[in-house]
Amino acid sequence: MNYLIPFIILITVVVFIHEYGHYYFAKKFGVGITDFSIGFGKEIFGWKDSFGTRWKICWIPLGGYVKFFGDRNVYSQTEQDNVVKSYDSKDREKLFILKPLYQRSIIVAAGPLANFILAILIFFFINVFSGKDLTPAIINEVQKDSPAFVSGLKKNDVIISIDNNKVESILEISTFINASTADIIEFVILRDNRQLSKFVKPIFVNGKDSLGNSVKKRIVGIKLSPLNNKYNKKTLGPSKAMYYSVKEVWFVTITSLNFIGKMLTGSGDTSQLGGPIKIAKITGQVAEYGIIPFLSIMAYISISLGLVNLFPIPMLDGGHLMFYFFEKVFGEPLSQKTQEIFFRIGLFLLLSLMLFVTFNDLKDLNLF
């Protein structure tokens, strides 16, 4: 229960924000909405508002959906015409399929966009009220014969950037090293008031993360410590807080895309992929450290949900946007046969991914 309750809270918030993005713009453009559901399956409880929307919580808390008035799969102009004829003129104004292409696109894209906005607001809140660490990253020790030693890094070097990522804090060093997908990492350092570039080839070792979970770590062989053992954590003003918040969301997004690219080419570490079980485990572990770490993991999960939903896979928001792109190019929706082929491919990919991450989750629990 220590893991389950934080996980349900996190998923509920992240999914609600995602679906509310769809809901907000659908309402703005006059689309009728019959259901707003958090979770799938049988309804636990719910209510109907004055606009006829059923707001409900369902038993399976692994997603959600917003159902539009008259919503159905319509593959061709002929089928659209048949649907339209079954409604009177007043109801036709509420049909999603009759809205201009740009409005449909905005409604679909608004879900993932809401997830990115949520992450930015969470990081903004943390930077303003809790603060951001701005301790310079000074190398305290370089282990002999380590990759860092071979590359020429030395004690008292100040690390300025790693792979073009500006280092603002000593706490970012491990993140930037392990997030890099390059075989050789570029360190820009400050030594005797001179900037130097050093290229380090990290080694991989099996280790534990800060929560005690098994991970593969990139090691370069340096130890860092703050000056006089004091961390420089500062609360930020609104403009700086927003800058660092957007920067963090951008970094996580680009790093995730690079990681996915490496996996698709067969050179990424797929053992680190996890599904609901792993997310629940990590969420529960992080929640034990307090509200700020919990909000941080919520922001990262929100980014992941927004990013994954933009993939051009049918049944995801990105798949719908892909179909709208083709509709714009060809002047009409794709044929039923073509869309069905895409849906089968998308379903296969999603099921394969679900099976794979579930296997990783169970393996992480030492059940395999």
Which sequence positions are flagged as catalytic?
Answer: 19
Q: What is the mean pLDDT of the chain?
A: 87
Q: What is the mean predicted confidence (pLDDT) over 312-317?
A: 88
161 within a domain of the structure (yes/no)? yes
The candidate with the shortest Cα–Cα distance to 70, out of 20, 19, 32, is 32
Is the separation of the CB atoms in 84 and 3 below 8 Å? no
Q: 90 in helix, strand or coil?
A: helix
CATH number at residue 174: 2.30.42.10
Tokens in use for 340?
A: 């069905």
With the C-alpha atoms ordered 61, 73, 46, 109, is the resulting torsion angle positive or negative? Answer: positive
Q: 172 in helix, strand or coil?
A: helix
Taking the C-alpha atoms of residue 29 and residue 339, their distance in angstroms, rounded to an integer, is: 26
Work out how many domains the chain is built from and give that number: 2
pLDDT band per the 50, 70, 90 thresholds, residue 42: very high
Q: Do 90 and 104 fall within a single domain? A: yes
Q: Do 112 and 33 fall within a single domain? A: yes
How many CA atoms does the CB half-sphere of 320 hold within 13 Å?
21
Q: Do 20 and 122 fall within a single domain? A: yes
| pLDDT in the model for residue 245 | 97
Q: Do 62 and 173 fall within a single domain? A: no
Domain membership of residue 197 as a residue range: 133-234
Residue 320's alpha-carbon distances to 93, 131, 260, 296, in angstroms, are 21, 39, 21, 30
What is the tens place of the pLDDT at every residue in 169-207?
A: 999 998 899 888 888 999 999 999 999 999 999 998 877
Which residues lie closer than 8 Å to 87 by C-beta, 6 or more apart?
70, 95
119 within a domain of the structure (yes/no)? yes
Q: Do 13 and 120 fall within a single domain? A: yes
184 within a domain of the structure (yes/no)? yes
Q: Do 11 and 76 fall within a single domain? A: yes
Tokens in use for 161?
A: 């950037």
313 within a domain of the structure (yes/no)? yes
Q: Do 9 and 112 fall within a single domain? A: yes
Tokens in use for 70?
A: 């008259």
What is the value of pTM for the model shown? Answer: 0.88
Which pairing describes strands 132-133 and 233-234: parallel, antiparallel, or unpaired? Answer: antiparallel
What is the tens place of the pLDDT at every residue in 64-92?
A: 999 998 776 554 555 666 667 778 878 88
253 within a domain of the structure (yes/no)? no
Is the separation of the CB atoms in 21 and 39 below 8 Å? no
Q: Do 77 and 143 fall within a single domain? A: no
Taking the C-alpha atoms of residue 183 and residue 165, their distance in angstroms, rounded to an integer, is: 16
Q: Do 9 and 96 fall within a single domain? A: yes
Q: What is the mean predicted confidence (pLDDT) over 206-234?
A: 79
Q: Do 38 and 121 fall within a single domain? A: yes
Domain stop point among 179, 204, 234: 234
